[in-house]
Structure 1
Amino acid sequence: MESTHLGWRALARRQWPLACALLFLIGTEAFAVDTWWQLPGSLVLGGLAVLAPRRPFDAALAAATALLASSVLLRAANVPPTVPLVSGTTLSEAAAVMATVAIVVRQGTVRRVLVGTAALVAAVVATAAIRPSYWDRYYRDLDYTGPSTTGQLIAGTVLLTLSIGTGLYFRARDRERATLMRSEVAAAQHAERMALARELHDVVAHYVTGIVVHAQAAQAVPGAERDVLPLIARSGNEALTAMRRLVGTLRGSETDAPAATSDLADDVRQVVAQSGQPVRLSLDLPSVVPPALGRSVLRLVQESLTNTRKHAGGVTGVDVSVSVVSDVVHVVVTDDGRAPKSAPVGGSGGFGLVGMRERVELLGGRFSAGPRESGGWEVRAELPVAEEP
């Protein structure tokens, strides 16, 4: 369950409250006397806690090592830390350790959770034995040696329980979210399959109707077989090609997919015009494109423009290119917008890309979508014009 692919922007959005809280605690501790020796260790622990979602287990081991190294440094300088919270750790160090434990529990495997948590707990316990005693240094005259061992154990157990409980809560929430996401993706794929099946069914019905009409004409007109049979054979081959692309046989409800005519270029122009966006259109299409393929091209263009309208901000131009090169239809839609800072009004299922990919792959093509290095978003699809019989 451990995730090491969290991007830096996503990490910043998730971890900035923790970073601010730790910086505040470290800053308040910096005003105490003789705190410069503990400052490097506190900063390293805080940084590891903030970066922990990228590599939770490694962060836990590094935090335990940093805590021990900081303790050795304080012992070498014979400088006690500021008021310890648990064992020999300060408030900022304890908070960083708690955050790291919660993140490891949330994202790590069971084995790594046990090892990482045990390493951190052992490092915290060792601080009491390694670091100079704050209470002996500043409270010797009052004959006070600090909280009792029982009190320390109770406080440590409570804080550890809070950390593990927080991690388990977020772990359960992540699991529910992943389950919901999988079911919604499956539903989106099923809906796209049904839409594609309906469209291909209609195309095949068109070819079969033509075959029946030509066959009846051959029966009614003596000697017409020589002219009609090639037409029947061609229609049959075209119907078989479309049938190979049919994955299911169930028909769903009517969708808002654009209607295709015999002129794909004109259909694309209408979809672009209806989008209401500043589109620069480039078309290089033959006069005849298979109807099933034409409908898929229109669906790709329409869905890409819809995604641009919903999710891209500050768009000044959208480039739509549809061309045929070497019996492959190339569909490229790019924009110069920026990602929104918040979810679109009304929410978004986020499954338009799933449906487009499903459609393209069912038709034997290739699909890619993602941000461009120069900014904006790009959708690219390649669809074969026809399959081998």
Structure 2
Amino acid sequence: MESTDLGWRALLRRQWPLACALVFFLASELFSEQGSWWQAPGSVVVAVLAVLAPRRPFDAALAAATAVAASSVVLLVAGTAAGVPVVSGLVISETAAVMAITAVAVRQASPVRAVVSVVVLVAVSAATLWVRPNYWAAEWPDYRPELWQQLFGGGVLLALSVGTGLYFRARDRERSTAVRAEVVAAQHAERMALARELHDVVAHYVTGIVVHAQAAQAVPAAAQEVLPIIVHSGNEALTAMRRLVGTLRGAEADAPAPAATSDLADDVRGVVAESDQPVRLRLDLPVAVPPSLGRSVLRLVQESLTNSRKHAGGVSRVDVSVTVADGQVHVVVADDGRERRAAPVGGSGGYGLIGMRERVELLGGEFGAGPRAGGGWEVRASLPIGG
């Protein structure tokens, strides 16, 4: 037995128009001159089942068919007509309820159960024409609907019910496909964001550890000076890893994600100082930069300096420029080194420039990177402050 896991509040919000309509039909039948109280219990049961059908459509269809059959037997034994029939022997409240249940079963049930539900409801509804006492014979002896009229009317209502169910079934399928596509896109974006964070932050500190360890090997006397730097870089890398693992596990990280402060200039100076490279820094920030944008600026500077340390040899100067002009933050990082012939520290996955380009384009900016005319490498990015 399938269930849509529809809560009672959600069911009420979804079904109240149908419930109100069925209550109106029931009241109209019971308090009219043509109505029969013998028919009331069965009509009420079928109406309630129609309102609850979205929770268990197949069960509701079978129960409604049973209720209609039982009501027909009661009317036969009592020898009284149910009231003015709409189609076959069903009155308007029963007809509306059966149509609603049919539409819900076609919309929500599996194909096999949907077919079984429709067949059972149609068979029981058709049987009421012969089981229930003939209303027309008692009220208007000269009038009796032809069989083709019953078939035509029933066919139209059946087509309307099944068509409605199929329409909403297709809509549900399209909505489900769209939701799945959105989930996949969100997961992909989250993976890309985590990949950029892993590359920009963790790889930065690990590269620093390897470079300083190599320096200590080359100059043993400098070991005592670089060991504190290695320890600091290792702790920062572990902190970043814990944060990323916490994000992947859906929990809050042990430490907040590094973010830009209100003073981007100081943040850039800190990143430059941590790089331990011969940097000539130029800052021109006459207006405040939002922290969210400042963090991306820091990542660009940090990754560019890391690439310079990994891929360039014989670097004597790295020019870092962070300026604001024309409503944009302009970042330029250029070195005068030459390309290393040996493999860079830690290898190269080729994701650094890709990550920087993605970060800039997501913010609506422009990115460019390539060799300089006079030798070395240059990274340029422009990010709109209002983006």
* TM-score (normalizing by structure 1): 0.58
Q: What are the superposed Cα offsets for residues 59-112 of structure 1, whole Å, 9 maximum, x if unpaired?
A: 000000000011111112111011111111101111111111010000111110
Equivalent residue number for residue 54 of structure 2: 53
CA–CA distance in structure 1, aligned partners of residues 37 and 103 of structure 2: 28
1:70 is matched with 71
In structure 2, C-alpha distance between the alignment counterparts of 1:242 and 1:94, rounded to whole Å? 65
Contact 2:85/2:135, CA 8 A, preserved across alignment: yes
The 1-side partners of 2:224 and 2:260 are apart by 27
SS in 2 for 1:198: helix
The alignment status of 1:82 with 2:54, answered yes or no, reads no
Q: 1:25 to 1:262 in 2, by over 3 A?
A: closer
The answer to whether residue 73 in structure 2 is matched with residue 110 in structure 1 is no
Paired residue for 1:182?
A: 180
1:137-180 CA distance string (max 9 Å, x none): 1123xx22x20011101111111011100100000000000000
Local SS of the residue matching 1:54: coil
1 CA distance for matches of 2:148 and 2:214?
98
Percentage identity across paired residues of the two chains: 66
Partner of 2:99: 98
Unmatched runs of 5 consecutive residues or more in structure 1 = 248-257, 264-298, 300-389
| 2:20 matched residue in structure 1 | 20
User: 1:154 — aligned with what?
Assistant: 152
Task: Specify whether residues 201 and 65 from structure 1 end up closer, same or farther in structure 2 by C-alpha distance, changes over 3 A only.
Answer: same
**Structure 2: distance between partners of 1:261 and 1:167:** 52
**1:158-237 pair list within 5 angstroms:** 158-215=156-213, 217-218=215-216, 221-225=219-223, 228=226, 232=230, 235=233
Shift of 1:227: 6.9
Question: How do residues 310-389 of structure 1 correspond to structure 2 at under 5 angstroms?
Answer: none
Q: What secondary structure does 2:221 align onto?
A: coil
Superposed CA deviations along residues 365-389 of structure 1, whole A, max 9, x for unmatched, are xxxxxxxxxxxxxxxxxxxxxxxxx
Aligned AA (2:86): L
Q: Distance in 2 between matches of 1:127 and 1:174?
A: 34
Contact kept in structure 2, 1:74 and 1:80, CA below 8 Å: yes
Task: Give the number of equivalent residue pairs.
Answer: 253
> Displacement, 1:13?
1.2
Pair 1:87–1:230, CA change in 2 (3 A): same
Contact residue 243 and residue 257 of structure 2 kept, 8 A: no
**Aligned partner of residue 38 in structure 1, secondary structure:** helix
Relative to structure 2, which stretch is displaced further, 230-239 or 110-119?
A: 230-239
Is the Cα–Cα contact under 8 Å of residues 38 and 70 in structure 1 kept in the other structure? yes
In structure 2, distance between residues paired with 1:162 and 1:182: 30
- Whichever of the two has the greater Rg, that structure is 2
Superposition CA RMSD, Å: 3.2
2:45 maps to amino acid = V
Which whole-Å CA distance do the structure 1 matches of 2:229 and 2:169 have between them?
63
| Structure 2 partner of 1:120 | 121
Distance, in Å, in 2 between the alignment partners of 1:129 and 1:183 is 52
Instruction: Find the counterpart in structure 2 of residue 344 from structure 1.
Output: none
| Per-residue deviation, 1:44 | 0.7
- The residue matched to 2:82 in structure 1 has which SS? coil
Q: Is the 8 A contact 2:87 2:95 kept in 1?
A: yes
**1:130 is aligned to 2:127:** no
C-alpha displacement of 1:205: 3.1
Aligned partners of 2:69 and 2:31: how far apart in 1?
23
- CA drift of 1:135 comes to 1.1
Partner SS state of residue 169, structure 2: helix
Structure 2 residues not aligned, in runs of 5+:
246-255, 262-291, 293-387
Could you tell me how far apart the structure 2 residues matched to 1:259 and 1:230 are?
23
Corresponding letter in the other structure for 1:185: V
Give the secondary-structure state (helix, strand or coil) at the position aligned to 1:210. helix
Alpha-carbon distance in 2 for matches of 1:76, 1:49: 26
SS in 2 for 1:124: helix
Distance 1:139 1:222 in 2: 115
Moved more, 30-39 or 155-164: 30-39
| Counterpart amino acid of residue 22 in structure 2 | L
Q: Distance in 2 between the 1:191 and 1:8 partners? A: 35
Amino acid at match of 1:43: V
TM-superposed CA distance for 1:211, in Å, is 1.5
Match of 2:37 in 1: 36
**Residues 197 and 246, structure 1, Cα contact 8 Å, conserved in 2:** no
Contact kept in structure 2, 1:89 and 1:127, CA below 8 Å: yes
Q: Quote the Cα distance in structure 2 between the aligned partners of 1:222 and 1:93.
A: 93
Q: What TM-score, normalized to structure 2?
A: 0.59
2:4 counterpart residue number: 4
Secondary structure, in 3 states, of the residue corresponding to 1:37? helix
| Alpha carbons 2:75, 2:133 under 8 Å: kept | yes
User: Over residues 121-142 of structure 1, what are the superposed CA-to-partner deviations in whole Å (9 max), with x where a residue is unaligned?
Assistant: 11101111211111111123xx
**Letter of the 2:206 counterpart:** V
Per the TM alignment, residue 228 of structure 1 is displaced from its structure 2 partner at its CA by 4.5
Secondary structure of 1:85's counterpart equals: coil
The residue type equivalent to 2:130 in the other structure is: A
Give how far 1:244 is off: 10
Where relative contact order (Cα < 8 A, 6+ residues apart) is larger, the structure is 1
Task: Give the conservation status (yes or no) of the 8 Å contact 2:46–2:67.
Answer: yes
**Contact 1:56 / 1:108 at 8 angstroms: preserved in 2?**
yes
Letter in 2 for 1:62: A
* Aligned-partner residue type, residue 117 of structure 2: G
